[in-house]
Amino acid sequence: RGLRKHEILNGIWTENFVEEANLAQHIYMVRKALKDNGDSEDFIETIPKYGYRFIGDVSEEFADMAPLHLSLDRERSEPENTNGNHSDEIIGSPVQKLNPAIHISAASAENTALSKPPVPITSNSRIIKWFAFAFLFVAIISLITYFFYPDGEPEPGIAKIRSIAILPFNQIGGGADEKLGLGIADSLISKLGNQKEISVSPTSTIVKFLEQGTDSAIEIGEKLDVDAVLTGTIQRENDTVRVNVQLISVKDKTPTWSDKFDSKFSNIFALQDRISEQVATRLSLKLQEPTQVEKNNKYTENIEAYQAYTIGLYYYDQRSEENLPKAVEQFEKAIKNDPNFAPAYALAADSYSLIAYYKFKSMPEAEAIAKARQMANKALQLDPRSSEALTALGLVALYDKSPEEAGSLYRRAIEIKPNNTAARLRLAVMLTLNDTLVDAIGELRLAQKADPTSMVANQTLTRLLRLNREPDEAMIFCRKALEIDPKSAAARSYLAEIFEQKGEHDKAADELDSLLKDSPNDPEFNLLRSRVAAKNGNSNEARAFLQKGLTNRKPDEFSYELATAYLFLNEKPKALEVLRNAKENTLIYYIHLKFDSNLDEIRKDKEFASILEAAKLRLDPSYK
C-alpha cells in the first residue's frame, strides 16, 4: 500500500512540527538520491491528496552473518575522470545512480570468507519487500534530515520568503558577457514567475540593475521591497560552466542557502532547470511536488539563438526609440537560428507593438502592427500559453479600436503569468473605461508592487490617484517616480497638478515655472500655468500664459488643458467649444473628461454628455 503523508511526518519527525512543503522537499531529495535527475517516478509514485507509494522492483539476496550494505557514495562506485570532472554533464550532490531495479545484497563471496550460498525467501515476499523499502526509505530521509535540519527545524528565513528578486548573474574570469547572466536570470524568472504562492520580480525590473551595477544585493532587495534576493556568478572556461547561487534574506541580511552547479556550456538549459528546481525546493513553495516548477520547454536549445535572445531582451527592456529596433533585430536573429523559439517571437511581437504605440519613426505604424500581429500569432501557435504574446496582441487590439478585446487578452496574460507587469499596466488603462477608477488603481498597485522602480507604474498610479481625488496618496507615488528620475518632466508636471488640487497654488506655480525655464515654449506647461494663475486670481498672467500656449499648440493637442484654462478664466462657452471640436482619440484624454475635478463645473451640462460620448466613440467605434 502507499504511505499517507501524516504517516511519514509522524514516523520520522515525531517531536517536531514540519510543513508538508518540507516533506515534498525530502521526497525530492530521495528521488534525487535514487536517480540523479530528481524528477523521475521510477521508484516513488505520488498519489495526489494521499501520499507516496514505492513502485520499483525489489529483489532479495541474503547471506548468513553478512551485513546489509547499500553504498550511496559515488566516490566508491564511480571513479572520477582524469581531468577532475565527474562524468555527468550536470553535477549536483555526489550520490550514486541506481538502476530501476534496486538490488540489496550482502558482501560478495570474493570479499569475505564468511559468505554462504544465498537462501531464497519464497514466503511472505511482499511483506519482506515492503520492509526492505521502508528501511531504505526511512534511512535515506533520516540522513537527509540530519544533514539539512540537524536540530529538526527548517533553515532560518526560508519560511518567511514570499517575494523574491532574481538578479542578473555576474560572470567572472575572462570573456565576461553580462547578457549571459541576464539570460539565466530571465529563464529562472520565467520558470518561477507563474507560481501564486510567491511573487517574483519581472525581468523588466532586474535589468535596470544590470546597467547600474552600484547597489549591493541587499540594497536592491530593499528597493524592490522583496523578502529575498537570488544572486549568482558564472565562471566559464572553454565549454565548461560553473554557476554559484546564493539566496539572501533581505530582512536578516544573511544567506539562507547556497549551491554550485557544473555543466557543459552546451547544456546550459538543463543547468537552468536544475537551479530553478533547487530554488523552488529551498523556498518551500506549497506545490504538490517541487518538480512541478514549469520547464521552459518552449525555450531553445540552440546556443546562438539563446545568446541573440538574451541580447534582445536587454534592448527590449530599455523601451526606447533607439533600442527597440535593436531588440527586434536580435529576436529575429534568434528566430533564424531556431524557428521554433516561441519567446523570441513573443518579444519581437511586443517590440513591434510598442514601436507602433509610441509612434516611433523607425517603422510606419501600420507596418509595425502587422508585424506584431504576425509574430504574436506564431508565438501562440508554438506556445498557446505565451503571456508575452497575448500582451502584444492587446496593443494590436487597441490599434484595431477594440479595448474590450485588449482587456480580455491582458487578463489572460496575467492569469498565465502573474508577474507580467506590462500586462497589468495595460489592463489598468483599459479598466479606466469603467464607471470608477477603483479597479484600475487596484491593478496599478499590483504592478507597482511587482516593480517598485518602474517609472511607468509610479507615474500612471500618480495620475489616476489624482483623477480619483486622492492627492495625498498621489503625492507618495509621484515622489517615488522623482526618486527614480528627478529630471522627469512628466512627474514634475504631475507634482504641480497635485499641489494645484490641494489648493497650494504657489507651489504649483513654482514647479511649472521650473519646467518652463527648461522648455519655455511647451504648450502643455504654458496652459497648465495659465490655469494655476487663473485659480490664484492673476487673470492677466493667466491670459499671457494662455496666449503662449495657443501660439505653440498644434491642432488637436492638449484640448483638455486649453478648455480648463478657459474655464477658470470664466469663459465657459469657449471651453465647451474646444471640447466639442476636439479630435483626440486617446484613453488619457477620455479619462480626464470623465473624472477630472477641473471639469466639475460643466460636467452636468447637457452638451458635456454628448462631448463625452463622442470621445468614447472615437476611442471605440463599437460603443453605442
- pLDDT above 70: percentage of residues in the chain: 65
Tens of pLDDT, residue by residue over 151-169, are 444 444 444 677 888 888 8
C-beta separation of 197 from 285 below 8 A: yes
522-572 confidence digits (pLDDT tens)? 999 999 999 999 999 999 999 999 999 999 998 888 999 999 999 999 999
Has this prediction a pTM greater than 0.85?
no
**Among 576, 473, 588, which Cα is nearest to 524's?**
588
- Supply the pLDDT for residue 319: 80
Cell matching residue 518: 527648461
Query: What is the pLDDT at residue 97?
Result: 34
Contacts for 553 with CB less than 8 Å, ≥ 6 apart: 523, 527, 562
Count the Cβ atoms, other than its own, within 10 Å of residue 79.
10
- Give the span between the Cα atoms of 267 and 236, in whole angstroms: 13
> Which among 502, 499, 565, 511 has a CA at the least distance from the CA of 538?
565
Cα 550 off chain centre by: 44
Within 13 Å of residue 549, how many CA atoms lie on the same side as its CB? 26
Report d(CA 98, CA 31) in Å as an integer.
Answer: 11
Query: What's the confidence (pLDDT) of residue 98?
Result: 35
Mean pLDDT is highest, among 183-192, 223-232, 316-325, 535-544, for 535-544
pLDDT tens figures, 97-142: 333 333 333 333 333 333 334 444 344 555 545 555 555 555 555 4
CA angle 334, 270, 388 (to 5 degrees): 45
- Looking at residues 219-231, what average pLDDT do you find? 87
| Helix ranges restricted to H, 47-173 | 74-77, 125-148
d(CA 527, CA 547): 9
